[in-house]
Amino acid sequence: MREIIFDTETTGLSAQNGDRLVEIGCVELINRVETGRVFHAYFNPERSMPSEAQAVHGLSDAFLSDKPLFADQVEGLLEFLEDSPLVAHNAQFDFSFLNHELGQCGRPIVLPTRMIDTLAIARTRHPGAKHSLDALCTRYGIDRSHRVLHGALLDAQLLSQLYVELTGGRQIGLMLAAEESVTVSVESRTTIMVARVARPARPHAASEEEIRRHTDFINRLTDPLWSEGLAAG
């Protein structure tokens, strides 16, 4: 089963009030295993970046000024997404911006039936707990030490690990058969997933010193139980 984990960065909180998408990061999963295929793009929002938003993701007007418009990248994005389910944290937010940009380009919106919201899953599994991406990564032991600012691709990669944990853990997708590995081919990218294989037993021969000490110990025993069996034989 193919799924796409994605995250966005924006100029603000409301696409309906004029905020725009400035970054998207997508990670491909096949049977809950990352294939290595990603889609990542920055977009020129054609408006200024509020200081509050820049403080979150660090994307400035100067940085985005030479980036392509969303319309210039939409073909590549849609080709990557295909018709796969789309997984996001607080998915309503990301879907609203994605669909607003698609509408601006005259493209069909992504239907809500394709939406999987990890925030909703986390609230069901851990009621009353903190459900931010940071808090959930801490709960599940996912390393986020390299996350200083929000970034769409980085957050999507963290979310892909979290999604696997929320939906069954790391055992999902592992091959439990006897084969040593399985190759998952996706277009021109190939990922090798290696399953654990039982190692042959290592030799544990006793040294001469250990044998001598064992013999001395046996010789010091008085009436050992096995002597009766030897006498009967």
Report whether 57 belongs to an annotated binding site.
yes
Give residue 174's pLDDT: 45
Beta bridge partners of 27: 5, 38
H-helix segments, the chain = 51-57, 61-64, 70-81, 91-104, 118-125, 133-139, 152-166, 208-219, 226-232
Report whether 155 belongs to an annotated binding site.
yes
Token pair recorded at residue 63: 């940085």
User: Nearest CA to 62 among 52, 78, 48?
Assistant: 48
Given 40, 126, 150, 214, which residue is catalytic?
A: 150
Give residue 211's pLDDT: 80
Give residue 109's pLDDT: 97
CA atoms within 13 A on the CB side of 149: 11
Give residue 212's pLDDT: 82
The mean pLDDT values, 10 residues at a time, for the chain of 233 residues are: 98 96 98 96 98 96 98 98 98 98 97 97 96 96 85 96 90 40 34 42 69 80 68 57
Annotated catalytic residue 150: yes
Class of residue 133 by CB neighbours under 10 A (exposed 0-12, middle 13-18, buried 19+): buried
Report whether 7 belongs to an annotated binding site.
yes
Report whether 131 belongs to an annotated binding site.
no
Report whether 52 belongs to an annotated binding site.
yes
Q: Is CATH 3.30.420.10 correct for 2-173?
A: yes
Give residue 169's pLDDT: 74
